[in-house]
Amino acid sequence: MPGPRELTLRPEHAGSIPAVTVLAGPTAVGKGTVSQYIREHYPQVSLSVSATTREPRPGEVDGIHYSFLSHPQFDHLIEQGKMLEWAEVHGLNKYGTRRDTVEAAIRDGQHVLLEIDLQGARQVRQSMPEATFVFLAPPSWDELVRRLVGRGTESTHEQHRRLETARLELAAEPEFDAVIVNDTVGQAASRLVEVMQLPAQQ
Ligand code: 5GP
């Protein structure tokens, strides 16, 4: 059941099965954790593999978690018009979704999930307005701060910068078709699959 802050799908989406679902939300809300959970538990969801210029973290596999590219390789894809969307995230690295892989998956009848940042979600809204846009929200502001500080991967200066960004990003919630509160990862993932109108578990 949706929680009190969660929206049901807009009427024009109810009953039609979306081919593309975009999951966005503020920094540190847990988009990566939810998509990792989806990857492990919901094989019926085709999770788009983003391209990025950032270095792989321990355990990340090229072609599964990201397609890791050099800056020139990434810029070449942009110049060739191959990106459905792309953004420089936190002013550090570029991340983007290749148009051809998403279109091939749709042609294959798959349900594609894009886990991207807000700037990217807005670009997809322009070129694929028929997609479903889902906002992953933190249970509260304090919890978002706790998650960002708790994961300990950023310096204090960087944490402050990201929290400033998160404040702006939270204000974007009304732009989305559905809101899912990320209280526990399993519940958030199951709500997301529900919004995608896929079978709960295979
Ligand atoms: P991370 O480096 O922690 O994996 O991801 C950092 C941010 O980049 C997250 O907010 C994530 O949603 C975003 N991101 C990942 N892939 C893409 C993408 O293909 N396009 C855009 N616009 N953002 C992405």
- Asked whether residue 131 is assigned to any structural domain, the reply reads yes
Is residue 5 within 8 Å of 170, Cβ to Cβ?
A: no
Quote the CA–CA distance of 90 and 123 in Å, as a whole number.
Answer: 17
Quote the CA–CA distance of 78 and 57 in Å, as a whole number.
Answer: 24
Distances (CA, A) of 54 to 58, 66, 150, 155, 170: 12, 9, 22, 17, 25
Looking at residue 44, which CATH number applies to its domain? 3.40.50.300
Quote the CA–CA distance of 141 and 137 in Å, as a whole number.
Answer: 9
Quote the CA–CA distance of 37 and 63 in Å, as a whole number.
Answer: 17
CA dihedral 140→199→14→187, nearest 10 degrees, is -10
Tell me which residue range forms the domain holding 68.
13-196
Ligand 1 pocket: which of 78, 117, 123 to mutate (most atoms within 8 A of CB): 117
- Asked whether residue 4 is assigned to any structural domain, the reply reads no
Is residue 92 within 8 Å of 55, Cβ to Cβ?
A: no
Is residue 192 within 8 Å of 23, Cβ to Cβ?
A: yes
For residue 22, which phi and psi values (nearest 5 degrees)?
-105, 125
Please give the chain's pLDDT, 202 residues, in tens.
Answer: 555 466 555 555 555 566 999 999 998 899 999 999 999 999 999 999 999 999 999 999 999 999 999 999 999 999 999 999 999 988 889 999 999 999 999 988 899 999 999 999 999 999 999 999 999 999 999 999 998 888 777 889 988 988 998 999 999 999 999 999 999 999 999 999 999 987 555 4
DSSP three-state, residue 6: coil
Is residue 177 within 8 Å of 23, Cβ to Cβ?
A: no
- Asked whether residue 202 is assigned to any structural domain, the reply reads no
- Asked whether residue 95 is assigned to any structural domain, the reply reads yes
DSSP code string of 38-82:
HHHH-TTEEE---EESSPPPTT--BTTTBEE--HHHHHHHHHTT-
pTM: 0.89
- Asked whether residue 139 is assigned to any structural domain, the reply reads yes
Q: What is the pLDDT of residue 92?
A: 82
Distances (CA, A) of 59 to 55, 56, 194: 12, 8, 29
Number of domains in the chain: 1
Q: Is the CB of 32 under 6 A from ligand 1?
A: yes
User: Judging by beta carbons within 10 Å of its beta carbon (0-12, 13-18, 19+), is residue 24 exposed, middle or buried?
Assistant: buried
Q: Is the CB of 117 under 6 A from ligand 1?
A: yes
Task: Compute, in angstroms, the gap from residue 6 CA to the centroid of ligand 1.
Answer: 23
